[in-house]
Amino acid sequence: MSEISATERSREQRSANEPAAIVLADGTVFEGEAFGARPADGVAQGEFVFNTVMSGYQEVISDPSYAGQVITFTYPHIGNVGTNGTDNESLRPFCNGVVVRDLARRPSNWRAQEDLPSFLDRHGIPGIAGVDTRRLTRHLRDHGSMAGVFGTADLATLTQAAKTAHDTTGRDFVAQVTTDGAYSVDEDGDSGRRIVAIDLGIKTTIVRSLSNYGSVHVVPATTTADEIMALEPDGVFLSNGPGDPAAVQSAPETIKGLLGRVPIFGICMGHQLLAQALGGKTFKLPFGHHGGNHPVRDLTTGKIEITSQNHNYCVDLDGVPGIEITHVNLNDGTLEGFRCSDIPAFAVQHHPEAGPGPHESSYLFGRFADLIDSNRK
């Protein structure tokens, strides 16, 4: 690998010499050192959550579903393979910050184009390293994900700012992450399937996975049902996305207008919004599911899959007619998937595209293709 540049060395030295701290909304303090971007006032804020993946930190950081959140990595050594343009899940990160234990400031991988501190700095994302992430994770696990602040400001300033920090409850972040305009990806031209994907914060790996089964036309979250049907889709996909599903504007009405007219498949936020359109509710989990090692049982086959997950909210379909539960999380028994018995629609809470994570659930894209084929005229 080529010698580290003077700019990278300057950032490395600046990061190593600048103390920083985290102050959570309940007043708990964690010490560390700053890296990445620096907020002008020395204060960054967001909802602190923890992610248990052991690889794929770039994919996690660039996942739009983390908008409004500060990601704490439980794996202690982060940054060792650097970053590259291929592994991004969106055009830029939308998270509010990154927390790590041991930061590798000199990447060692043939694919690396940039180190992690430089990547975050370029995208305006602040980070804090040297944190006791084991203690922080245990605190969030015991008390739930919570708002907080971090940065290089003095402790008194951070403590005061933490009192007014806000989490994701009641906040619609979809409008911030959805595409500005429609675009198309046509990989599998032989199938003849035309899939319209509603971008609620869609990941690149999801678009790539869908394109294996047909041409994909990605549209903004504000697209109406009539506008989507005018595209003559064989199927409609509802993507992942950030924030509180109960606060998302326009998309639920769009989904209601599509039900029964075209096959639908939803993932994560798409799963939650489909449930709401059918009459279900959502509620916030104590500390969410974020990681690549969650066991889920597919009730239709009896098989157990290790899945990739990233969500703070869960679906409650109690009392909703015409619903069959298809997947259950084996860690806490929460609902992970369902399908409709009278219309062609199904959804899962976990991420079968697995960017990053295991690929044991990738068959769900094939199920969507089969659903489309069985409903094509």
Q: Is there a single domain that holds both residue 116 and residue 138?
A: yes
- 169 inside domain: no
Average pLDDT over residues 93-106: 96
The first and second tokens of residue 254, run together, are 């769009």
Active-site pick, 8, 47, 336, 353: 353
User: Which DSSP symbol is given to 363?
Assistant: H
H or E element in which residue 228 lies: helix 225-229
Contact 232, 196 (CB under 8 A): no
Query: Where is the domain boundary, 122, 140, 162?
Result: 162
> Based on the domain organization, do 141 and 273 belong to the same domain?
no
Provide the residue range defining the domain that includes 81.
Answer: 6-162
- 167 belongs to a structural domain: no
CATH of the domain at 318: 3.40.50.880
Instruction: Give the separation between CA 239 and CA 179, rounded to whole angstroms.
Output: 12
**Both 157 and 35 in a single domain?**
yes
Q: Say whether both 193 and 237 belong to one domain.
A: yes
Condensed to tens digits (0 to 9), the pLDDT of residues 239-262 reads 999 999 999 988 999 999 999 999
Q: What is the mean pLDDT of residues 283-287?
A: 96
Q: Which of 12, 139, 268, 271 is catalytic?
A: 268
Looking at the structure, do residues 30 and 51 belong to the same domain, yes or no? Answer: yes
Segment 103-137, tens digit of pLDDT: 998 999 999 999 999 999 999 999 999 999 999 99
Do 268 and 367 fall into the same domain?
A: yes
* DSSP conformation class of 151: E
Across all residues in the chain, what is the average pLDDT? 94
193 and 330 share one domain: yes
Catalytic, 353? Answer yes
Question: Residues 15-27: pLDDT tens digits?
Answer: 457 999 999 999 9
pLDDT tens digit string along 190-214?
778 999 999 999 999 999 999 999 9
End position of a domain, from candidates 109, 142, 162: 162
Residues 279 and 211 both lie in one domain: yes
User: Are residues 148 and 68 part of one domain?
Assistant: yes
CB neighbour burial string for 186-207, b if at least 16 within 10 angstroms, e if fewer: eebeebebbbbbbbbbbbbbbb
Q: Is the dihedral of CA 254, 282, 247, 269 positive or negative?
A: negative
Picking from 86, 85, 154, 142, the residue whose alpha carbon sits closest to that of residue 119 is: 85
Position 249 scores a pLDDT of 86
pLDDT digits (tens, 9 = 90+) for 58-90: 999 999 999 999 999 999 999 999 999 999 999
Whether residue 120 is found in the same domain as residue 251: no
Q: Pairing between strand 281-298 and 304-316? A: antiparallel
Report how far residue 178's alpha carbon sits from residue 156's, in angstroms, rounded to the nearest whole number.
37
In the listed set 142, 162, 182, which residue is the last one of a domain according to the structure? 162
Task: Choose, from 271, 311, 350, 351, the residue flagged as catalytic.
Answer: 351
Position 186 scores a pLDDT of 80
Q: Is 100 domain-assigned?
A: yes
Residue 268: active-site member: yes
Q: Is residue 325 part of a domain?
A: yes
Domain contains 254: yes
What is the tally of structural domains in the chain? 2
The pLDDT assigned to 188 comes to: 61
The pLDDT assigned to 138 comes to 98
- The enclosing domain of 150 has a CATH number of 3.50.30.20
Question: What is the distance in angstroms between the CA of the first residue and the CA of the last residue of the chain?
Answer: 56
* CA atoms of 116 and 326, how far apart (whole Å): 39
Residues 116 and 251 in one domain: no
pTM value is 0.93
Question: Does residue 94 sit in the same domain as residue 198?
Answer: no
As a whole number of angstroms, the distance between CA 20 and CA 128 comes to 7
- Is 169 within 8 Å of 244 (Cβ atoms)? yes
Higher-scoring residue by pLDDT: 176, 13: 176
**pLDDT of the residue at 9:** 46
Mean pLDDT over 131-145 rounds to 98
Q: Which two tokens stand for residue 107?
A: 């990447």
- Alpha-carbon gap, residue 305 to 294, rounded angstroms: 8
Which of the four pLDDT bands, split at 50, 70 and 90, describes residue 6?
very low
Q: Which pLDDT value is given to residue 234?
A: 97
